[in-house]
Structure 1
Amino acid sequence: MKSIVLIFALMLVSCASSISVNEPASIVPVDRAEKEWWMPRHEEKLRLKEQMGKVDLVFLGDSITHYWETKGQQVWQQYYAKHNALNIGFSADRTEHVLWRLQNGEVANIDPKLLVLMIGTNNTGQRQDAPKDTALGIKKIIESLETQLPNTKVLLLAIFPRGATVDDPLRKINDDINLIIKEFDDGERVHYLDINHIFLDEKGNLSKSVMKDLLHPNEDQYQVWAEAIEPRLTSLMAENE
């Protein structure tokens, strides 16, 4: 009897070890249904996508993208409304939440020219995931997009800086993620763009006049962000005419 119990225990340990090694949380799709607003927002985006009919541009990410609807609303109207743009940024999402949303219809039945992707800072801030694990989650997102949106180019943005200085531990994690994901640029379908310098001073410091909480761009910075990506965004969309 003892030997059977021991064997069973070893099997459980082996299984748990296999899951932790082979499947970091960053790549296992999961929803956030425990948040009262999250699933209704997902369902709202599904309805909006269908109502729009034609979607030429998509922004996909977390709260920084979500806030185009509040802080960046006027800039969005100026730059992106003309492109039949869809915002599917969800506050506090990590890579695994984006994977779930992609598996559950958020880009189904559309054929955009371009998708702008930035995700990962919540993997850093909420769990301090290893950079390689967050980067793997981003890679899985890109692979999902390639399957579901084979004609769509991806503008992959470097994760924005956070923390006041270059020595901030969370800043360092994001920087290390960016070093990995920049290699996802294949020059054809996926195009990496790092605009982080526009938010920093000459010493790499991040001011509260730029990001009050040292994480989310202030309202005026959405104009700065739009201006910084506009040349690349415009050229990539034109290539997909």
Structure 2
Amino acid sequence: MLSFFLLAFIVRGQAQQKQSLNYYSDVVLNKIEATLDQRNSIKSIRSELDLKLSDIKNNVGLSVDEIAAKNKQVYNEAFLKYNAVLSDEQKSMVKKLLFEVQLENVRNGHGTFHESDHFKKRMELFKTDPLPKKAIIFLGNSITEQGNWKSLFPDKAVYNRGIGGDNTFGVLARLDEIIESKPEKIFLMIGINDLGSRQWDNTLILENYNKIVDKIRKGTPKTRLYIQSILPLNDSLLKGASYRNKADTIMKLNNELQLIGDSKCAGFIDLYSLFHHGDNILDSKYTRDGIHLLPDGYSVWMEFLKKNKYL
């Protein structure tokens, strides 16, 4: 779902300050020409949200992880209610405003990156399994994290640097460890959370991809960097509504990633085509939740890399 809680603070600061979009602000409501009825409904949604957040905060029996999960849930519920109040044209305007804020942050050197508890735990775990020189690294989000790469490639020095929930900003923020190890190969797959839970535009994602590629190329020029396509989704199995109806967007992004992979990297690896049968839907035999792969899916992935002599 959209990380609404990371964006609902200030509308604008000074030129070089980080900016955020407050969906409930008069600035936004004026720009989308919200009616009086819409404003009243949105005000009610905001009041309900604040009340729920207060109840969660005051519940001393909740753990830190439980508080975070409940906060995310109520923010996502509020965002869905907010969206339901708006017309399609207004939702498009809000999306455009959000993109403008994100793009301005990128241009001012501010990443929209949030260190989740899971991110921190994975980073601590990586310290206990340091990267040797000339390793092979799988880099990405939960789809990468859930791959048992050492078992899939037992004769290779393969290391898993996947973090569930990660996005292009997160990868960019944690490249130093990888670059310092001067790996032989990097297999990068990132972006589905940018499109889904973050609702970021392809232009922003591609800007980050170019930054990631450029930083790796500069820091370890002999490393063979492969960009792996974003996988298809299966909407009928997805629980998160924000990930649905992304097929066209994913295909367009993959087309752009292929250009980057072919022109600036060791190559582009089309896994998207591998996991659907002409319908742009992730084959249900490879997934239970519409986004993550079952073990058979990783076996297909592994065989494809071997067959095409990537590994």
Report the TM range for the smaller structure's normalisation.
0.7 to 0.9
Q: Which amino acid aligns with 2:189?
A: M
Q: Within the alignment, does 1:198 sit opposite 2:274 as a pair?
A: yes
Which residue matches 1:48?
Answer: 129
Judge conservation of contact 1:55–1:86 (CA < 8 Å) in 2: no
Structure-2 change in CA distance of 1:192 and 1:28 (3 Å): farther
Q: CA deviation at 1:195?
A: 2.2
2:190 to 119, 128, 133: 119
Which residue matches 1:85?
Answer: 158
CA separation in 2, counterparts of 1:135 and 1:232? Answer: 27
Q: Secondary structure at the match of 1:59?
A: strand
Which residue matches 2:297?
Answer: 221
Judge conservation of contact 1:28–1:96 (CA < 8 Å) in 2: no
Deviation string, structure 1 residues 59-104 (Cα, Å, up to 9, x no partner): 1000000001xxxx3x63242x4221111100010100111111xx
CA separation in 2, counterparts of 1:31 and 1:124? Answer: 14
Q: Secondary structure at the match of 2:284?
A: coil
Structure 1 segment 116-195 matched on structure 2, within 5 A: 116-164=187-235, 169-186=245-262, 189-195=265-271
Q: CA deviation at 1:12?
A: 4.3
CA separation in 1, counterparts of 2:225 and 2:296? Answer: 25
Structure-2 change in CA distance of 1:108 and 1:114 (3 Å): closer
Which residue matches 1:59?
Answer: 138
TM norm structure 2: 0.60
TM norm structure 1: 0.76
Structure 1: runs of 5 or more not aligned: 1-10, 235-241
Structure-2 change in CA distance of 1:118 and 1:21 (3 Å): closer
Which residue matches 1:94?
Answer: 167
RMSD: 2.7
Q: Which amino acid aligns with 1:192?
A: F
Which residue matches 1:4?
Answer: none
Q: Within the alignment, does 1:37 sit opposite 2:118 as a pair?
A: yes
Q: Which moved more, 1:118-127 or 1:202-211?
A: 202-211
Q: Which amino acid aligns with 1:48?
A: D
Q: Which amino acid aligns with 1:138?
A: Y
CA separation in 2, counterparts of 1:150 and 1:116? Answer: 15
Q: Secondary structure at the match of 2:214?
A: helix
Structure-2 change in CA distance of 1:23 and 1:232 (3 Å): farther
Deviation string, structure 1 residues 99-149 (Cα, Å, up to 9, x no partner): 1111xx321431221100000000011122111211211111111111222
Which residue matches 1:106?
Answer: 177
Higher relative contact order (CA 8 A, sep 6+): 1
Structure-2 change in CA distance of 1:31 and 1:229 (3 Å): same
Q: CA deviation at 1:164?
A: 4.0
Q: Secondary structure at the match of 1:192?
A: strand
Deviation string, structure 1 residues 176-232 (Cα, Å, up to 9, x no partner): 111111111346743111122221123333332222111111121100011112224
Q: CA deviation at 1:37?
A: 3.1
Structure-2 change in CA distance of 1:110 and 1:20 (3 Å): closer
